[in-house]
Structure 1
Amino acid sequence: MTVDRHGHAMTDTGAEALRHYEQALDDLLFFRPRITDTTQALLAAAPRSPIGQALAAYLGVLGTEEKGAAEAHQRFSRFRAGLDADRLTPRERMHVAAAAAWLDGDYRTAGRILGEIAVAHPRDLLALFAGHHHDFLTGDAQRLRDRVGGALDAWDADDPHRAPLLGMYAFGLEETGHYEYAEQVGRAALDRHPHDVWAIHGVVHTYEMRGRFADGIRFLDARTGDWSSGTLLTVHNWWHYALYALESGDTARVLDIYDSALHHDGSPGVAMELLDAAALLWRLYLAEDDQSTRWAALADAWERRADGPHYAFNDAHAVMAYVGAGRIDRARRLVRDRESWLAAKPAGANRAMTAEIGLPVCRALIAYGSRDYPAAADLLLPIRHRVHEFGGSHAQRDAVQRTLVEAALRADRPGLARTLLSERIHLRPICPYNWSAKARLEDRLGAPDRAAAARKRAAEQAAA
């Protein structure tokens, strides 16, 4: 029986397939677009490889694409139909079970099984990678950190794949508030592999959460050749760059990044890139910066996808695009579609994500776009501490949190706005947006001196 380089036995996987598998793991860790081709080569060499089939199944769900997941489900079902599970190793049986659960929409079971694999086989890169990104897509920050942290002691310091694990760990540390340590760990990963775009992404998040946007720009500028093109994470890292530029008040640079990297005529229209585009434009929308032409093109791209109820996080960003483009009726139609789907009592984790978080967020966005600010605030307030349950990172979900702040200000609810801004400012004292919003609040409260002080603080931070 073939054994991979970390000592895991692989059924029905010959030497040629094993070479493709090892290359696929490397491509996966470094977000190389060729991962699809490498996986296809693996399955061509060993179509009955349980680990190869599990890898293909995970790729089918990690992109949050409804059509990709459906195709992966069909392919994996055909594989399982002729499978003699007794021939597999216990690890392979667990991977097959995890992939099947995930394809069926049972995120909780998939995450649990992947965790069990990591306990029994802490050097199983596929289980660690899939589990880490499962935790990201479900917004589970503690597991995002601890799933990888719990396996690190099993890895030798000189193993070339230990550094990418550090990059994953850095992101988990950042999402749980360990910003300085996360930066340290992420930089250690980059010392070994400067082109590790996930480690770059982890460090970038630490700057975002600490308001160190000038440092973030310098960090990305110094490494432009390592992250700015040719990877599956390129658009997302450009999105982070644009967030830094937005905080510094450089709207021209923000729009240049949007047009050249986030969304343009050549964009492939994949969900993860469209949601970055929507999240960036929505921040401008909240600032009453008219981007109607860009919104129209982005809304067209979402409409072409014709997505069904697959991932609530994507739905919220599609609604942002429709609202931003003034297509309130289209946004409402998406909400009605999801309501009808829920009425049929579907199975799977997206049911709860949609019912409890996704639809309230979508309805709030529609209310905000309709200038019904009290309704937007009322919809978001009960879920503001639960928004992580429909996935994403703190930085991504801040578009929703800012919507609540803006709704409170525009609904003339000074007590709520004061509370929200006090929370934000004490958590992130370096954030021009927080201080500019506080200035507007103080203006409404008739406190011009405090408003001027807050506005000065915002300007000083933006110019720092």
Structure 2
Amino acid sequence: MPTDQHGLTIGSASGAAVRHYDNAIHELLHFRPEVVAEARAALEEDPGFVLGHVLSAYLGVLSTEADNARAARERFAGFRAGVDASGLSPRERAHLEAVEHLLDGDFGTCGALLARITEEHPRDALALIAGHQIDFFTGDARSLRDRIGKALPAWHEDDRHFGQILGMYAFGLEETGDYDRSEEAGLRAVELDPKDVWGIHAVAHTYEMQGRFRKGIDYLDARLADWSTGTFFNVHTWWHYTLYALEAGDTARALDVYDAVLHGPEAAETALQLVDASALLWRLLLEGDDQTARWKALADAWTPKMDEPFYAFNDVHAVMAFVGAGRFTEADRLIASRESAAASGRLGVSNHAMTVRVGLPVCRALVAYGRGDHDGAVEALYPIRHRLNEFGGSHAQRDAVQKTLLEAALRGGRLDLARTLVGERIDLRPSSPFNWLKHAAVAERLGDRAAAAAARSRAAGLRAATDL
């Protein structure tokens, strides 16, 4: 029987199909668009190639695009109808079961089944990367770390893809708050492979969480050629760059990136990219920066993607765009459609809980904030602020919601709450100019001008510093 590049038995598949499959996994581990063509080529070489169909199904669903998921479901159903699973290896059967749950919208069961595959086959790169993506989409920080961590002993530094596995582990370390080890692992991953976008991404997150915005800018600038083109991560990493720019007080630079990359003339307008565009403009909206023209174009891009419910995290960012564009009717319509879908059981297994427990409250809060109902925004967000992870994303991404709660409390006169929220932020990221500026705003509202002036001076000093 043939084996893949990591020494695992493939089952019955042609040599050419396996080579394309290996190439596809290589491209997927680098998060490059070529994965799609290589996966397609594997199935063209061998239409009955089980893991080729599994890979194709994973790619369709993990794009978070409802249309792609529907098409993947239909393709896989046609393939599955002609397969006698009794003749497959246990690993192939396990992947079939896992991907069937994923296609049914059950992210949790799929992730658990993939974890079992990893326990028996820690060098199964497909199980690792698909599971890692599921952990991200479900906001399971511990599994982001431990799913990869328990497989690491089976990998060695001379393995072709050790760097990518280590880079994913670094992201899990960052999401669980182990920033020193995350930075160390991420930097090592990139040392092993300068184009390891997983490692670069993990380091970018680490510097963001620590408020080391100057260090983040320098790091990304030094590696621009390695991450800025030819990868699905390029737009998202540029988004991290804009967060650093905002901390540095350089809004113009952030908007230049927005226009050139996040939602520029050549933007692919995938849901993953539109999320980043919404997340940047919403941060500007919270600071009173009117970007009406950009919001309108972004809302237009979101509209055709919202007919069918698929992923609550995307819904929230679409509502940001509708509110930012002043199109409250569309925001209300989206919320009503998700409420109806939840009531009739049409949201899917995992997305139902995400939507009901987090997505809908956040959407309602965004609309309330946009309409000037700051108390309404606070009442919707405060009870769920410690479980926002349940609808996916990273700490950096979900911070837009936390900032909305803070700004609503400040503008609504809930100054004790605002002071508490700012205090929490400063304790976690004392080197963030944003946090000190919000401390100044709260102090000003409380009548403590000396504290406000000191906080503004601290923010200015942080922005002028060169060693963060």
State the TM-score bracket (shorter-chain normalisation): over 0.9
Greater CA deviation, 257-266 or 340-349? 340-349
Alignment of 1:21-170 (within 5 A): 21-170=21-170
Matched, 1:184 2:184: yes
* 1:401-446 deviation line (CA, Å, top 9, x unaligned): 0000000001101111111111111011111111111111111111
Matched with 1:19 is 19
Matched with 1:460 is 461
Matched with 1:282 is 282
Distance in 1 between the 2:177 and 2:162 partners?
23
Residue 155 of structure 1 and its aligned partner are, at CA, apart by 1.2
* 1:339-363 deviation line (CA, Å, top 9, x unaligned): 1101102341100100110000000
Task: Give 3-state SS (helix, strand or coil) of 2:186's partner.
Answer: helix
Matched with 1:5 is 5
Distance in 2 between the 1:21 and 1:457 partners?
53
Counterpart amino acid of 2:457? Answer: K
* 1:216-261 deviation line (CA, Å, top 9, x unaligned): 0000111111011121111000000011001000011011000001
Q: Are the counterparts in 2 of residues 186 and 199 from structure 1 also a CA contact under 8 Å?
A: yes
Q: Are the counterparts in 2 of residues 171 and 182 from structure 1 also a CA contact under 8 Å?
A: yes
Matched with 1:262 is 262
Distance in 2 between the 1:434 and 1:12 partners?
58
Matched with 1:337 is 337
Structure 1, unmatched stretches of 5+, are none
Matched, 1:360 2:361: yes
* 1:103-130 deviation line (CA, Å, top 9, x unaligned): 1001111011000000000000000010
Matched with 2:397 is 396
* 1:130-176 deviation line (CA, Å, top 9, x unaligned): 01111001000000000000000011221111111000000000000
Greater CA deviation, 360-369 or 431-440? 431-440
Matched with 1:205 is 205
Matched, 1:297 2:323: no
Residue 304 of structure 1 and its aligned partner are, at CA, apart by 3.0
Residue 16 of structure 1 and its aligned partner are, at CA, apart by 0.4
Distance in 2 between the 1:223 and 1:258 partners?
19
Count of aligned residue pairs for this structure pair = 464
Structure 2, unmatched stretches of 5+, are none
Matched with 1:441 is 442
Matched with 2:416 is 415
Matched with 1:216 is 216
Q: Are the counterparts in 2 of residues 12 and 46 from structure 1 also a CA contact under 8 Å?
A: no
Q: Are the counterparts in 1 of residues 282 and 400 from structure 2 also a CA contact under 8 Å?
A: yes
Matched with 2:351 is 350
Distance in 2 between the 1:190 and 1:8 partners?
26
Matched with 1:372 is 373
Matched with 1:324 is 324
Counterpart amino acid of 1:400? Answer: V
Distance in 2 between the 1:325 and 1:389 partners?
27
Distance in 2 between the 1:236 and 1:307 partners?
25
Distance in 1 between the 2:268 and 2:318 partners?
16
Matched, 1:253 2:253: yes
Matched, 1:313 2:305: no
Q: CA RMSD in A?
A: 0.9
TM-score (norm 1): 0.99
Counterpart amino acid of 1:439? Answer: A
Distance in 2 between the 1:194 and 1:159 partners?
15
Distance in 1 between the 2:306 and 2:219 partners?
38
Distance in 1 between the 2:35 and 2:307 partners?
24
Matched with 1:233 is 233
Runs (4+) of structure 1 exceeding 4 A deviation are: none
Q: Are the counterparts in 1 of residues 365 and 377 from structure 2 also a CA contact under 8 Å?
A: yes
Percent identity, please.
Answer: 56
Distance in 2 between the 1:311 and 1:39 partners?
25
Residue 5 of structure 1 and its aligned partner are, at CA, apart by 2.8
* 1:259-304 deviation line (CA, Å, top 9, x unaligned): 0010022212100000100000000000000111101110111113
Q: Are the counterparts in 1 of residues 306 and 315 from structure 2 also a CA contact under 8 Å?
A: no
Residue 463 of structure 1 and its aligned partner are, at CA, apart by 2.1
Q: Are the counterparts in 1 of residues 21 and 52 from structure 2 also a CA contact under 8 Å?
A: yes
